[in-house]
Structure 1
Amino acid sequence: MRFSLLFLFFLLYSTVFAQVKLESEQDKDGNVTIYANNTEVIPYTLVVDFTTLMNLTSSGGRTVFAVANPGRSIVARLKKTNANQGSSYNYSTKLYKGSYLDKSKEEPVYLIPVQEGQKVRMQPMTHVENIYKKESENTSYVGTAFYLEESTTICAPRKGIVSDMKMDTQLKGAGLSFDASDNFIEIYHEDGTFTKLMVLESGSEKVKIGDVVYPGQALATSSGEKYNSGRHVRMVQSRLNKVEREIKFEQIPVKLFDGEKEISSNQTVNELIASHPENLISKEMSKKELKRLESK
């Protein structure tokens, strides 16, 4: 019985998401520490909004922005104000995939995500509203598409960790413009950016969730035969941003290397040849990874 009472005293309660579990612990002085247990392979951003703070002061204010890295980390600390009075608290939580804090020191350059030497045509995608709402003219950037003459290997455009994938959909019909159920592989980069590659052949994946991938590494095989635009691969980069007191998810254009120069993914280019220069492949590698590359 004594063990149970102590357990209840120190573990006040927990909040559970599919990816992150929050636990609260109280010390002998009545101070509270809130922890996040992240079982995923990438960080998550948490917004904790304290709706009640009675006789407690939050180190981060009423609204706390925190990043839960894989494993256990501290989200917030609550200090008891008056040792002779009781205390209580309550909060609501929002969870976002990725870290809003991670940034690049310099703007990264991405490879064209196909095997080296492959010729492609690049064109920014149109917003889905423009497909289903004929009167809509939404010009927001939503990614770019690389059109292919033949089936080809799709490669990682940057170093990162495979954070999500779905590769078991076999599309039906023909003349498609968009299908939300299509296959994809998602990569999380160390600067908090995601790359999502879509329109992939079912069952063709060469990686799994949790794998670290490098620029030019084979990921899967292209598809697109069911689309009215033919064979292609779609690529979208996105990241979290803190705007005032909110976290927002935005899709962003990126720099690409075409073998000779850098171009923006929001441009239309009729012909590009994919190139995988060693300086870009090794750009984000650790010393250990570089040694392994040099030994090959």
Structure 2
Amino acid sequence: MKLKTILFFLFISGSLFKVNAQDAQIKFSQRTNDDRSVNFSYDKNDPGSYTIIIKFSELTNCSGPMEREFTLKGTAGSFMNLRPENKLLNIGFNYRSNYIRGKLNPKYDADFVYLLPYKTGTKVNAKESNYVMTQYFGKTAPADWKSYRFYTKDEDTVTAVRKGMVVELKDGYDPERPGEVQFTSKVNEITIEHPDGTLARYTGFKKGSFAVKLGQTVFPGTALGLNSQTNGNDNFNISFILMYLNSKDFENARNENHKSMYGFITPHFYSAGIDNAILVKGQDYTAGDTPDIIRKELNKRELKQFNK
């Protein structure tokens, strides 16, 4: 049986997409069973959700679509089984797989209220960040682009804005010194997948300050790490993007002028004295929380621990 698999991994770093066929984040394997059916399994580097598209260029002795879509969760599992039409013959197949972080088009509440990404009582200044592909590469920004940068006067603890699972950690970089670089992807960041399938990316942590581990469940207000001074800025800050996967157009993503495969959400935040606010750029806010916001996504076991 001839088998040729080509893996492509597309991911967002800040707002840059990259295609990587060398450092595969998912490894696939196939097993032919005694009844000549074929099981497809995977092993992943992290427990987050990935959308995978399987495209068969050849599929013999088996019926079904030539293109199939799956959502892979957890670090390992099975995701597809092929059964032979003629049980006396093996199945022949040739395919390629494309995958990207996130659940495709998850259902989310656009009016969901998030905490500010700092502990209660912290005074922050909120600014909006430009789309880096426009600023440095002349690309058109997505119509729904939204990214915030939250500044504090002193070094402070960055916290989770809602419940979720840590699905990516990127650490080990020192902040760039003034004038050294205008744009870099060498930043310390955490990506958290929320229960509704949306993704929060926190960027700009102090090197070595992470307080969470890959696969850890975090809750509103859970300490993630320390913010930092970036590119010589006097104030300490963190960048925050809320996004979701809204495209599976991998072919277009390889083009130089491709559109983002992610949609971006303008979040509603709770601030001390303001129950539900879309932030105004340049305005000061004070981080806070309420029992209702913290409890609203907790399960019974988590609620029991919270109420102790």
Of 42, 62, 69, the match for 1:65 = 69
Unaligned runs of 5+ in 1: 1-8
Judging changes above 3 Å, is the alpha-carbon distance between structure 1 residues 180 and 84 closer, same or farther for their aligned structure 2 residues? closer
Partner in structure 1 of residue 242 of structure 2: 237
In structure 2, distance between residues paired with 1:218 and 1:173: 26
Partner in structure 2 of residue 153 of structure 1: 157
In structure 1, distance between residues paired with 2:56 and 2:115: 43
Partner in structure 2 of residue 3 of structure 1: none
C-alpha deviation, 1:51, in angstroms: 0.9
Pair 1:277-2:285 in alignment: no
TM-score by length of 1: 0.82
Secondary structure in structure 1 of the residue aligned to 2:283: strand
CA deviation string 1:94-139 (max 9, x = no partner): 1212322653467532111012111222122101134325x76636
C-alpha deviation, 1:206, in angstroms: 1.4
TM-score by length of 2: 0.79
C-alpha deviation, 1:225, in angstroms: 5.0
Partner in structure 1 of residue 203 of structure 2: 198
Are the counterparts in 2 of residues 125 and 144 from structure 1 also a CA contact under 8 Å? yes
Partner in structure 2 of residue 163 of structure 1: 167
Partner in structure 2 of residue 138 of structure 1: 141
Judging changes above 3 Å, is the alpha-carbon distance between structure 1 residues 153 and 105 closer, same or farther for their aligned structure 2 residues? closer
C-alpha deviation, 1:158, in angstroms: 0.9
In structure 2, distance between residues paired with 1:136 and 1:227: 26
Deviates more, 1:106-115 or 1:61-70: 106-115
In structure 2, distance between residues paired with 1:138 and 1:71: 33
Judging changes above 3 Å, is the alpha-carbon distance between structure 1 residues 24 and 15 closer, same or farther for their aligned structure 2 residues? farther
Pair 1:31-2:45 in alignment: no
C-alpha deviation, 1:229, in angstroms: 7.1
Letter in 2 for 1:261: D
Partner in structure 2 of residue 261 of structure 1: 275
C-alpha deviation, 1:264, in angstroms: 2.9
Taking only aligned residues, the RMSD between alpha carbons, in angstroms, comes to: 3.0
Secondary structure in structure 2 of the residue aligned to 1:163: strand
In structure 2, distance between residues paired with 1:190 and 1:34: 26
C-alpha deviation, 1:76, in angstroms: 2.3
In structure 2, distance between residues paired with 1:71 and 1:272: 39
C-alpha deviation, 1:283, in angstroms: 1.5
C-alpha deviation, 1:63, in angstroms: 0.9
Pair 1:93-2:97 in alignment: yes
CA deviation string 1:172-220 (max 9, x = no partner): 4215654321211221212211111111211222112122111111111
- Structure index of larger Rg: 1
Are the counterparts in 2 of residues 39 and 70 from structure 1 also a CA contact under 8 Å? no
Pair 1:82-2:86 in alignment: yes
Secondary structure in structure 2 of the residue aligned to 1:279: helix
Of 217, 226, 229, the match for 2:231 = 226
Secondary structure in structure 2 of the residue aligned to 1:223: coil
Partner in structure 2 of residue 251 of structure 1: 264
Partner in structure 2 of residue 288 of structure 1: 301
Pair 1:125-2:129 in alignment: yes
Secondary structure in structure 2 of the residue aligned to 1:284: coil
Secondary structure in structure 1 of the residue aligned to 2:63: strand
% identity of equivalent residues: 24
In structure 1, distance between residues paired with 2:86 and 2:30: 20
Secondary structure in structure 2 of the residue aligned to 1:57: coil
Deviates more, 1:136-145 or 1:115-124: 136-145
Secondary structure in structure 2 of the residue aligned to 1:288: helix
CA deviation string 1:18-48 (max 9, x = no partner): 4433222334443333233345222322111
Partner in structure 2 of residue 22 of structure 1: 28
Are the counterparts in 2 of residues 37 and 68 from structure 1 also a CA contact under 8 Å? no
